[in-house]
Each structure stands twice: as C-alpha cells, then as structure tokens.
Amino acid sequence: MDFRFTEEQNNFRGEVRGFLEGEIAGGLFKPGCDGWIHGFSPEFTRKLARKGWIGLSWPKEFGGQGRSNVDRFILTEEILRYGAPAALHWFADRQIGRAVMHFGTPEQKKEMLPRILHGDAWVGLGLSEPEAGSDLGSVQTRAAEDGDSYIINGQKMWTSCARYMNYMYLVARTDPTAPKHRGISEFIIPIPLPGVNIVPTIDITGTEAWGEVFFDNVKIPKTNLIGEKNRGFYQIVNQLDYERSGMERLMGNYPLFEALIKFSKETMRHGKPVCQDPLVRDKLARLQVEFEVGRLLTYRVAFVIDQGRVPNTEAAMAKVYCTAFEQHLADLATKIVGMYGQLTEDSKWAPISGMAAHSFLGSMGYSLQAGTSEILRNVIATRGLGLPEA
Ligand SMILES: Cc1cc2nc3c(=O)[nH]c(=O)nc-3n(C[C@H](O)[C@H](O)[C@H](O)COP(=O)(O)OP(=O)(O)OC[C@H]3O[C@@H](n4cnc5c(N)ncnc54)[C@H](O)[C@@H]3O)c2cc1C
C-alpha cells in the first residue's frame, strides 16, 4: 500500500492552489465555510469549467478529462480548503452528470452533458418530501402520463440550489399501484416552468441554500424521463453513494479549522497564547487525528471508484465519520473562541469572521443531509458487516 500521491498529482494540487490563490487575490471570492453549499458564483463556476475542472473524471467520450477520481478528490479538496464558491456546479458535476451518462438517452446526453461541462447547468436535487426522507420509497409527488407528456403534482423540500437552479433533478411516482419502490422514476426538468413555485428555505444559519418546490399540474415532455420508467429507485441508490462520498463531508468548514489554529496561536489569555493551554492543545491535536483519519477514509472512496467498484459501505463509513469530525470542530471552535464566538459574521465583534457560529449551526444538518448517520450505520451493519436487516 502506498499512501503517497504521484508527482503528477502533487503538481496538479499545486496548479489548483495557484489558481485559487490567484482568484482570492483578484477579489473573485473570500474564503468561507460551506462554499460548496452556500457559495453561488457563476463566474467562479465558469472559470473552473474553462480549465476543464468540471467533469474532470468523466470519460473523454462524454467531454470529460478522463482523469482519476483521486485527481478529482485532490481538486475538490483544494476548492474546499480555500472555501471557494462552488455550489452552482457541485451537484451536477458530482452525481447528475453521471446519472445522465449512465441512464440518459443520446439526446439527453447531447443536451445536458455539455451544459454541465461549461458550468451552465445548475441542477437542484429534488428527492425529499415532507413524508419521504430516509424512506425515499415513500415519495408521493406524482408524475401521471398524459399522451406525450407527464403531469407533475406534489411537493419537494430541502431542494439544494433551489433559488438558482435552471434544472431540477426530480424523483416522482409514476405508478401509484405498484409496490412503493417499483413505481418511482427519475426526471431532469428545466426550471422555471409554468406551475412550479419555489419557496426558499431560510436555514438555521440564515442563508437560503435550499427551498421547497411545489408542482401544480406541471406539464413536461416524456423525453425528460431519465432511464427506465418505474426503475428510478434502483437507479438512484447508486447515485447516493457518490453523493455521500466526497471531500465535502470532511472539509466543508476547513477555513474554520485553519482560522482556529491561527486564533489559538495569536490570541492572548491570562498572559499567554491560548494554544499554551494544555486542554486546548490536547483537543486541537485530537481534532487533527480525526481529520487525518477522515481524509484517509475519503481518499479510499476515490480509490474504490477508480477500481470500478461502487463505494457503498466505504462511502457510508466516510460520511458518518467525517460529518462527526465537522461537528466536533464546530463545537470545539465555539469553546475555544469563547462567548464572542456566538456572533455571526455581520457583527464587527465576531472573531474569525463569525465562522465558529456559522459552522456550529450549519454542521447540525451534515449528519442528516444525503442520508442520516443512523441510516448509514444501518448500511455499514448490513452490507459491511453482513448483519441481517433489523
Ligand atoms: C441541510 C439539509 C440539506 C438537505 N439537502 C437536500 C437536497 O438537496 N435534496 C433533497 O432531496 N433532500 C435534502 N435534504 C433532506 C435529507 O435527505 C433528509 O432530511 C434525510 O434523508 C432525512 O429525512 P427526514 O428529514 O425526512 O427524516 P426522517 O427520515 O423522518 O428521520 C427522522 C429520524 O429518524 C431516523 N430514522 C429514520 N429511519 C430510520 C431507520 N430505518 N433506522 C434508524 N433510524 C431511522 C433518522 O436517522 C432521523 O434521525 C437535506 C436535509 C438537510 C437537513
């Protein structure tokens, strides 16, 4: 086993860092937490696209660069390290493009893939509903056949990118009479459309990264169906492994980690730097160990994908572990920074740009989105350990 990156990979990492540092210096963005969820910048997304850094690991036949997933994880690791605004293309690059490559018709590939690669397709994820989260098979949004069309009625919630999306990846019930997992289909639909109403969700951090999407007799052509009708649930399962497995589960708040270490070195308390406190040192060191373990678990996922295997239990393990790290980081940050750490970035008194408060609030959702930790531990228990279903 060789834990080193190749020289080419190290050079690539350097190239990405150089690009990001240049963009920060040029004022395109300011490093922040949750840039992959909350950072919406068409300019940044299109600049990445022009460098060929969207679709980096897609096969060349679909316009990608044919690079490895380890390379892609290096790229995303650096984007997250610098807290860059990558939300507009993140979901399409990570999973929707793959779904289209895998299940799409030639026409769908021709329409969607170049748009994703150019940074022009901003795809929101429309799976969850008020009564369907962990149990996705309970989806009630209905897509009823009507000649050459489907008529959509229902509601989605927690749709990422809702305010900005120009496409929505939609999961809907196409056969209400079939057993629940066998009557679901996947669609990609352009947004806006008559009858689609988007209500932003203002989350606990005060940002609008998600939304509720209501469908009232929305007519879409049958050509928007992705893959096989009523097989959607089985198509999605694979996609979720890719959703769970990235660097974003570990490094969404990385700018906070760096700022916290700097803060502890530079801030004086009781006549000495905070980092001289043995308890602070102990806790920061423990956090560093957790970070390194999480990083290895995550790169292992990239390795598994590059072997041509689906990263099922590996992705579940990485996400459970890494999101717990993010929550420990946020918790520790609020303690080390002290009472002022509860202030958000709009206060001039907020230390480290209010990242401690933002991260503390935001990280609560990390162990829910893309599969809760309880569900993922069930995956590890059954598929990893071979335990029988409960
Ligand atoms: C910040 C955030 C972003 C999100 N982004 C998106 C998005 O972009 N697109 C999208 O479609 N959805 C999104 N979601 C929704 C997310 O996928 C669901 O919240 C998640 O799947 C859990 O579903 P639920 O909220 O309905 O909770 P429920 O499924 O009702 O679960 C409630 C509790 O019961 C537990 N539980 C449920 N079933 C089991 C079981 N079988 N065994 C053990 N415990 C169980 C859960 O772990 C949880 O603690 C997002 C959610 C959040 C919080």
For 327-369, how does the pLDDT look when each residue is reduced to its tens digit (9 = 90+)? Answer: 999 999 999 999 999 999 999 999 999 999 999 999 999 999 9
Coil, strand, or helix at residue 322? helix
Angle value at C-alpha 171, between 377 and 176, nearest 5 degrees: 100
Both tokens assigned to 312: 């099922």
Mean pLDDT in residue range 167-192:
97
CA of 17 to the centre of ligand 1 (A): 35
From the CA of 134, give the closest atom in ligand 1.
29
Q: pLDDT per residue over 272-310, tens digit each?
A: 999 999 999 999 999 999 999 999 999 999 999 999 998
DSSP 132: B
Buried b (16+ CB within 10 A) or exposed e, 122-142: bbbbbbbbeebbeebeebebb
From the CA of 372, give the closest atom in ligand 1.
47
How far is 68 from 49, CA to CA, in rounded Å?
17
Coil, strand, or helix at residue 67? coil
Mean pLDDT in residue range 208-218:
96
Q: pLDDT per residue over 109-139, tens digit each?
A: 999 999 999 999 999 999 999 999 999 999 9
Coil, strand, or helix at residue 42? helix
Buried b (16+ CB within 10 A) or exposed e, 228-258: ebbbbbebbebbbbbbbbbbbbbbbbbbbbb
Coil, strand, or helix at residue 102? helix
Nearest protein CA to atom 44 of ligand 1, as residue: 374
From the CA of 126, give the closest atom in ligand 1.
11
pLDDT given at position 1: 73
pLDDT given at position 243: 87
Banded model confidence at residue 240, pLDDT cuts 50, 70, 90? confident
138 in Cβ contact with 183 (< 8 Å): no
How far is 15 from 48, CA to CA, in rounded Å?
12
pLDDT given at position 225: 98
Both tokens assigned to 138: 């309970």
Is the confidence at residue 181, as pLDDT, over 80? Answer: yes
From the CA of 136, give the closest atom in ligand 1.
21
Instruction: Say how many Å lie between the first and final Cα of the chain, rounded.
Output: 36
Mutate to test the pocket of ligand 1, among 94, 158, 373 (most ligand atoms within 8 A of CB): 158
CA of 187 to the centre of ligand 1 (A): 21
Q: How far is CA 225 from CA 35, 51, 103, 173, 215, in A?
A: 31, 31, 10, 12, 16
Is the confidence at residue 53, as pLDDT, over 90? Answer: yes
pLDDT given at position 352: 96
22 in Cβ contact with 36 (< 8 Å): no
Is the confidence at residue 238, as pLDDT, over 80? Answer: no
From the CA of 374, give the closest atom in ligand 1.
47
Coil, strand, or helix at residue 268? strand
Kindly report the average pLDDT of the chain as a whole number.
96
pLDDT given at position 134: 96
Is the confidence at residue 3, as pLDDT, over 90? Answer: no
CA of 14 to the centre of ligand 1 (A): 37
Nearest protein CA to atom 37 of ligand 1, as residue: 134
**In DSSP terms, which residues pair with 142 in a beta bridge?**
153, 173
**Beta carbons within 10 angstroms of residue 4's beta carbon:** 7
pLDDT given at position 68: 97
pLDDT given at position 67: 98
CA of 156 to the centre of ligand 1 (A): 13
pLDDT above 70: percentage of residues in the chain: 100
User: Which segments of the chain are extended strands (E)?
Assistant: 123-126, 142-146, 149-160, 167-173, 184-190, 196-201, 210-221, 225-226, 268-269, 272-273
295 in Cβ contact with 288 (< 8 Å): no
CA of 90 to the centre of ligand 1 (A): 20
Q: How far from chain centre, in Å, is Cα 53?
A: 16
351 in Cβ contact with 340 (< 8 Å): yes
Crossing angle (nearest 10°) for helices 278-306 and 69-81: 150
pLDDT given at position 239: 79
CA of 321 to the centre of ligand 1 (A): 17
CA of 95 to the centre of ligand 1 (A): 19
pLDDT given at position 8: 98
How far is 79 from 37, CA to CA, in rounded Å?
12
From the CA of 128, give the closest atom in ligand 1.
11
Strands 167-173 and 123-126: parallel
pLDDT given at position 2: 81
Residues with CB under 6 A from ligand 1: 125-128, 133-134, 158-160, 210, 365, 368-369, 371-372, 374-375, 378
Nearest protein CA to atom 51 of ligand 1, as residue: 369
Banded model confidence at residue 105, pLDDT cuts 50, 70, 90? very high
pLDDT given at position 275: 97
Query: Considering the entire predicted model, what is its pTM?
Result: 0.96
Tokens 């408060």, residue located: 357
